[in-house]
Structure 1
Amino acid sequence: MDFFGKFCLLFGGFWLLISVAVLVPLAITLGGSDPDSMLFIALFMLLFFTIGGVFFGIGLKQLFKRNKILKNGTAYYAKIVAYEEDSRILVNGRPLTNIVVRYYDKSGRMNNATVSPNGSVKGGFPLGGTVEIVEYEGETILKSKKAVNMKIQGEENLMMSYNGGAVSVDQIRPESYYCPHCGANLMIPRGQTVKCPYCDSFVTNTRQFA
């Protein structure tokens, strides 16, 4: 399941647990002896059950949807060609980073897809890595828990066609590049932009293709 689905299940489950584990025993303890307090507790129980139920329901829907895609969809191996931030979802106060992949479909056509990882992309999904995706009825999800260093047929064309101007696959592999703001040594393909994990600045490798 992607990060959003996991978040909804955990967040919704937390509020449902609070309702059952805290408010229900408290209501039983009071036993109707204090009507005002019982009304107050009942309102909070309704609020927490509503919040928990809505988020938990969304999470379950995402889980069932993912299982349906995995069961009925078509699996492909794809190359990671870029990252894309989703400002609608924040992880530790920062936008969730999605993965842009490029692959050949069953008709041999090149396609791009943006897929959500299970969590942070740091370390587990490097540019140029290979992941398995599943496509069903126009939706694509990430099946792999992390990228692997596996060569797939036609990967040079996949990666170079995404990075216009490259004439060899070596030119689009991540290379050493220093952050101009804090001096950190980063690995960035030419023409690509990444966020520095040390100072949160966006850094673009401005070296030109030969």
Structure 2
Amino acid sequence: MRILPRNDPRQYDDLAGEWWRPDGAFAILHWLAAARARLVPPASRPGAILVDVGCGGGLLTPHLHGKGYRHVGLDLTCSALEQAATGGITPVHADAGALPLAGGCADVVVAGEILEHVPDLSRAVAEACRVLRPGGLLVLDTLNSTALSRLIAVKLAERVRGVPRGLHDPALFVDPRVLERECARHGVALAVRGVRPTVPGLAAWLAGIGRGRGRIVPTWSAAILYQGRGIKDGG
């Protein structure tokens, strides 16, 4: 694999074959997608739109079946969007900081494992909130900007099970207090909770015997990984 700068999106072209391997380098992303979907209720109206910012290969798609949304996925990586489109996503090539969508078009905006990759958090949050209609739902998960998170997500994770070095830039990890303030500026009161993989599932994956067995569950600490959920004012 070629050597690229940290957090370079071209790494995901090199990893295109990993998106749908449930026991591969992106296994935990599958578990996170399932946990994210559990925060999304069925659509409340015909034609409801769910905007998936940083959709990658479309891992959220199978967990939304039957919920009644038109699923619009945005990503910078064309090879990932090609895979997402095969699962029924409407693919859009776009930066998280400049979404080519009308304001208030989305019933739900999901930003899963993307905010720790964006160079301008304020802009990305503003865009996610802008496209969300009043009364709409924002769902996200990301990595905390703590020493423990940097140790686990960078120092350790990038040395096991095919996760490439340089996938994350720890300088971009997100303090939940900052994220809450940014969301509040745009009318979204974000509630945050810590989450983690189940220990048996994580151990099985690390040992190479964990095909599809992992699950993300709530935990008392948001020091490493956390989810956020909030409703936009005005609904």
Higher strand share: 1
Higher relative contact order (CA 8 A, sep 6+): 2
Fold conserved (TM > 0.5)? no
Higher helix share: 1
Instruction: Tell me the TM-score normalized by structure 2.
Output: 0.25
Rg comparison, structure with higher value = 1
